[in-house]
Each structure stands twice: as C-alpha cells, then as structure tokens.
C-alpha cells in the first residue's frame, strides 16, 4: 500500500467551503515571450477571493521553466505541468521528472489527459506510475478520466471511467483529499464545440464521486475536487460550475486568452 502524507498542506482544500477551481491547460501553445505577455495582462485582473476560487495554469514545459525565473505570474495563480515522467531520474531522453517540475515552483501536474491517452498512447499502467511518482514528490495530480463517443453510445461510461480510476489509484492511500484532483473530460466534447448537457455532467460527476468514496474512503473520496473539462467557455461556465457535483473546470481553448480566462475566474467567484 502506498501512503502519502499531507505534505503541501498549504494547498489544502475543504469541500465544505464550496471553493471552485479554474484550471487552464495551454496544451502546445505559447512561446516564452507569449507566456510572459499573457500573465502581464492577466495580472491586471482583479484577484479572486482566496476562499472562493483557486486558479491553476498549465503551460508547456519550456514556458513553465522560464516563468519560474520571473515575477510575471500573479501571486494568486498556481502553476502546473501538462505531463510528468514515470521515473524519478535516469536515462530517459526527453522526459521531465517530478523534482524538475517542483523546482519551477509548480504545484500541480496533469495525468492522463485524453490527448495523452488516445493520441500519444499512454497506458493505464504508465499513468499509475506517473500519479504515484507525482504524489511522492508532493505534486498534486490532476487525474483526467473520460469516455469516447463510441464508449458512451455503447453504455460503457461506468466501465471505462471507473476502470481509469481503479488503475490510476490502485493501492494509493491519501491522508487528505486535497492531494488529488480529478477532471472528468468526455473525449467527444473536447475541442469540438459540443458540450455534454448539464444532466450528463452531473450524472457523471456523481458517479465519479461515489466511486472515489469506495476507492479512497468516504471522507477522503468525498473531499477530492472533481472538475469538468470539455468545450468550457464563458458562455456556459456559470451553469456548469453551478452544478452540485462540479467543483470547477479544466479549460483548454478558452484559457489561451487572458481576457476570457479572467472572465471565467470571475464567473467561478460568483457561482
């Protein structure tokens, strides 16, 4: 059994305070200069109330490393990496270890984004190792789960999503629900402009919540934040973030413009 203490408890998040998380995934966009310009503009936005909204941005590795050397990132923005190595160190050309990510000041890391699963072809076993390795380095994994359109139409949502959770969290024991974030991202609604209905989102999040309680225990599983990702934008975020089982959003395209991202943050604060 792998047990992980509450290191990084300054990131602690209690479900009962109704905090929303607004996370921006830049994917393969933005040079170093573009990243600095982005944050210079975002810094002019009104900082959200710390007890209501947590903001996380996931730049590419190059921008992440460069941002660590400047004061361009607002203090109210946390940084994360879009991926992480499954090993601590060694002869793994092109890989970036959890310790390297931590050295940038980043606190979070995406694990198992659908593009990593379906385009890059990462296995569930590999993703499990990445998650455990991240926890050992006191990084907070944002574990992404979700089904394809074919799997949904075949009635395999629970089979697929529960299987992804089971494999990634196998033998993992947490001391605090704030050590993990789960993002539900139906693959068929990512970058397509097609969003799941609020009823579909709420149903999926409720199922994930109950399964997390089974895997991690009622208290821990009940306090893990569950985000929704899939064509989230200012026009639909209020209705999505306001759903009982949704704790925020993992946002792709709409996070690339600082004005739109600032609007999403403001919406989250008002929900």
Q: How far, CA to CA in Å, does 48 sit from each of 14, 20, 67, 212, 268?
A: 17, 11, 21, 29, 9
Average pLDDT over residues 140-158: 94
Structure confidence at residue 188 (pLDDT): 86
pLDDT band at 70 (very low <50, low <70, confident <90, very high): confident
38, 40, 41, 46 alpha-carbon torsion, rounded to 10°: 120
- Residue carrying structure tokens 């579909």: 200
Please confirm, yes or no, whether 4 is among the known catalytic residues.
no
Instruction: Using a pLDDT cut of 90, give the percent of the chain over it.
Output: 86
163 belongs to an annotated ligand binding site: no
The residue annotated as part of the active site, out of 4, 108, 113, 211, is 113
Structure-token pair, residue 54: 């947590």
pLDDT digits (tens, 9 = 90+) for 196-211: 999 999 999 999 999 9
Structure confidence at residue 16 (pLDDT): 45
Sign of CA dihedral 258, 199, 176, 159: negative
Distance (Å, rounded) from C-alpha 115 to C-alpha 117? 5
pLDDT band at 8 (very low <50, low <70, confident <90, very high): very low
Average pLDDT over residues 38-50: 97
pTM tops 0.95: no
Q: How far, CA to CA in Å, does 100 sit from each of 54, 61, 75, 178?
A: 23, 10, 21, 22
253 belongs to an annotated ligand binding site: yes
For residues 116 and 141, the answer to whether their CB atoms sit within 8 Å is: no
Average pLDDT over residues 248-270: 97
Structure confidence at residue 154 (pLDDT): 94
Structure confidence at residue 17 (pLDDT): 57
The residue annotated as part of the active site, out of 4, 185, 205, 211, is 185
Structure confidence at residue 176 (pLDDT): 95
231 belongs to an annotated ligand binding site: yes
Domains and CATH numbers, the chain: 16-270 (3.20.20.70)
- Residue carrying structure tokens 């979070």: 108
pLDDT averaged over every residue in the chain: 93
pLDDT digits (tens, 9 = 90+) for 155-167: 999 999 999 999 9
27 belongs to an annotated ligand binding site: yes
Distance (Å, rounded) from C-alpha 179 to C-alpha 220? 9
CA proximity to 51, closest of 74, 20, 77, 22: 20
Neighbours of 212 (CB within 10 A): 22
Structure confidence at residue 12 (pLDDT): 41
25 belongs to an annotated ligand binding site: yes
pLDDT band at 142 (very low <50, low <70, confident <90, very high): very high
Structure confidence at residue 195 (pLDDT): 74
Distance (Å, rounded) from C-alpha 137 to C-alpha 103? 11
Average pLDDT over residues 238-243: 97
CA proximity to 181, closest of 133, 137, 131: 131
Structure-token pair, residue 91: 């002869």
188 belongs to an annotated ligand binding site: no
Whether 105 has a pLDDT exceeding 50, the answer reads: yes
């Amino acid at each position: 059994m792998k047990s992980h203490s509450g290191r990084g408890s300054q990131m602690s998040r209690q479900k009962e305070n109704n905090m929303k998380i607004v996370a921006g995934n830049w994917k393969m966009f933005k040079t170093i200069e573009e990243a600095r310009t982005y944050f210079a503009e975002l810094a002019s936005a009104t900082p959200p109330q710390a007890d209501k909204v947590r903001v996380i941005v996931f730049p590419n590795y190059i921008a992440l490393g460069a941002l660590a050397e400047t004061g361009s990132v607002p203090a109210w923005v946390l940084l994360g990496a879009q991926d992480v190595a499954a090993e601590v160190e060694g002869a793994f050309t092109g890989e970036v270890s959890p310790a390297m990510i931590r050295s940038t000041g980043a606190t979070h890391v995406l694990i198992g984004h659908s593009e990593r699963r379906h385009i890059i072809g990462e296995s569930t076993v590999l993703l499990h190792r990445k998650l455990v390795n991240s926890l050992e380095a006191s990084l907070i994994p944002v574990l992404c789960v979700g089904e394809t359109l074919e799997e949904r139409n075949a009635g395999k949502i629970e089979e697929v999503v529960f299987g992804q959770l089971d494999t990634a969290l196998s033998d993992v024991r947490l001391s605090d629900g704030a050590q993990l974030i789960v993002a539900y991202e139906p693959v068929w609604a990512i970058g397509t402009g097609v969003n799941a209905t609020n009823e579909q989102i709420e149903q999926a999040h409720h199922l994930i919540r109950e399964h997390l309680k089974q895997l991690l225990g009622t208290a821990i599983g009940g306090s893990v934040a569950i985000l929704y990702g899939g064509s989230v934008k200012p026009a639909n975020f209020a209705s999505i973030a306001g759903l009982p089982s949704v704790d925020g959003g993992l946002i792709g395209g709409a996070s690339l413009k600082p004005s739109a991202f600032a609007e999403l943050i403001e919406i989250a604060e008002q929900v």
